[in-house]
Amino acid sequence: MINAMIIDELDNVGVVIYPIKKGDTISYVMANQQTAEIQAVDDIKIYHKFAIRDIVKGAPVVKYGQHIGSAGIDIKQGQHVHIHNVESVREL
């Protein structure tokens, strides 16, 4: 069952469309129309973000093809991505 979405092939985070529990499988369709699956590292509330791959501290967090912040810590694939591990970045 598809339970998450990715909008842009540049994204390194996706959005869950159902509540996810730690250990659940997150399934989404990639830009090439193939389904990808990863394991949730954390509980993730509906409409919250998760990392589709590891994101190192300081690297851009990209959602909908847009830079929305920087990783405040190393973020592992399948981990919940939210204000506790993303830093705001002011773009000029």
Q: Is the pLDDT of residue 13 over 70?
A: yes
Q: Is the pLDDT of residue 3 over 80?
A: yes
pLDDT in tens, 38-85: 999 999 999 999 999 999 999 999 999 999 999 999 999 999 999 999
Predicted confidence band of residue 91 (pLDDT cuts 50, 70, 90): low
Tally of domains within the chain: 1
The whole-number pLDDT of residue 90 equals 73
The whole-number pLDDT of residue 79 equals 98
Predicted confidence band of residue 31 (pLDDT cuts 50, 70, 90): confident
- End-to-end alpha carbon distance in the chain: 40
Whole domain around residue 67: which residue ranges?
A: 4-87
| Residue 79 · residue 50 · CB < 8 Å | yes
CATH number, domain of 14, equals 2.30.130.110
The whole-number pLDDT of residue 92 equals 57
Q: Rounded to whole angstroms, what are the CA distances from 76 to 30, 33, 68, 92?
A: 19, 24, 18, 28
In-domain check, residue 92: no
Q: Which residues pair with 53 in a beta bridge?
A: none
- Phi/psi class of residue 33: alpha, beta or left (left: φ > 0; alpha: ψ in -120 to 50)? left
